[in-house]
Amino acid sequence: MKICLEYQTWNRTAPKLLLQYAVGALLYCPADHGGIIEHICNGTLPELKSVAFCLEDTIQDSYLPEAEKKLVNHMKLLYDAVKEGRVHQKKLPLLFVRIRTPEHMRDIFQQLGKYQRILTGFILPKFSSKNQEEYKKATFEINQKAQAIKYVMPTLESPDILLKKQTRQQELLDIKKTLDSMKKYVLNVRVGGNDLCNVYGLRRRETQSIYDILVMQDVLSDISSVFLGEYVISGVVWEYFEGEADKEDKWKIGLQRELQRDKLNGFVGKTAIHPSQISVIQKAYAVELGDYEDAKAILNWQQSTRAVAKSVKYARMNESKVHQKWAEKIMALAHIYGIKEESHEGF
């Protein structure tokens, strides 16, 4: 598979309509992890486009104050690197902090001081109807003070969403109503797969997909039916990564298969927990040349002609009225992830 357009046509200052698709492989790391700062400053992970500094599940309660201090120091190092020209601002990854509560969000923003200028936004854990109004209030307050927009990415991982099937749809609709009222700041919606699986004590192997777990397939279907029309939704985390014991790259094959299912169902991007996953996720969203040509043709449709035509490359039909939204998404993905000249195992 040859990529003929690399990841060079967008940067962190892009408008939300493009940026929402660009989160891609969001690398999670504990907020006190200094190694990631070295990678960013030295450019040793060139495909790293977004980072989540976690202050929630990865940090013990007693250690939180110390982790917060280290996070502020990390942001200072990056801020200074940009200011001194050692890292170009447009080359800086999208930077997010996963906080614990709305009040914690305000506190971290305050602690960051001027270093918040390089912060893209916050990840809101366990977002639900119980805390959504407080999160909304904190989001508006922070953006009133911030020098540049601070996006939020709410994570749907509350047990209420999974356990109460009979009320799940209403819960999701309530959440969407709140997100709609703060849509300007919502970059995308994330799904906490591990948290939801943990409710039932379930876990997939590297040869299995999240879609093989029936209750997860059910909840993912409900989430996508409510949010997919207006929001970008990320795929759930993949737990397996490169290791010496896996000589057959089962982790990569499993990840590629799940990404294929993610893409088919409209999910864009995926939480990464190891650098080895980044390239696999980013390359999965490169657009096939035939799809790119069709999308370009659909968006440049001559209104005076008929509304249906044969695909540029494939033996399939294009309709200007029903494939418009698909075409817009394909062009955005091509702009971010590039175009591949030929299909490779469904990617």
Can you tell me the distance from the alpha carbon of 29 to that of 35, in angstroms, rounded to the nearest whole number? 10
Can you tell me the distance from the alpha carbon of 176 to that of 20, in angstroms, rounded to the nearest whole number? 17
Q: Domain boundaries in the chain?
A: 16-285, 290-340
pLDDT at site 99: 98
Can you tell me the distance from the alpha carbon of 295 to that of 328, in angstroms, rounded to the nearest whole number? 7
How far from 332 is each of 91, 273, 305, 337, 339, CA to CA, in Å? 19, 25, 26, 9, 11
Can you tell me the distance from the alpha carbon of 158 to that of 174, in angstroms, rounded to the nearest whole number? 14
pLDDT at site 52: 97
Q: Residues 95, 53: contact at Cβ < 8 Å?
A: yes
Cβ contacts of residue 244 below 8 Å, gap of 6+? none
pLDDT at site 62: 95
Q: With 0-12 CB in 10 A as exposed, 13-18 as middle and 19+ as buried, what is 107?
A: middle
Residues in the chain, total? 347
- Give the residue carrying structure tokens 């955005």: 332
pLDDT at site 346: 46
Of 327, 339, 335, which is closest to residue 296 (Cα–Cα)?
327
- 10-residue stretch averages of pLDDT, the chain, 347 residues long: 55 91 96 92 92 95 96 97 91 96 98 96 96 98 96 94 87 97 98 88 93 94 96 96 83 96 97 95 94 87 64 75 88 92 54
Q: Residues 136, 144: contact at Cβ < 8 Å?
A: no
Most distant CA pair in the chain, distance: 67
Q: Which CATH superfamily is domain 16-285 in?
A: Phosphoenolpyruvate-binding domains (3.20.20.60)
Q: With 0-12 CB in 10 A as exposed, 13-18 as middle and 19+ as buried, what is 267?
A: buried
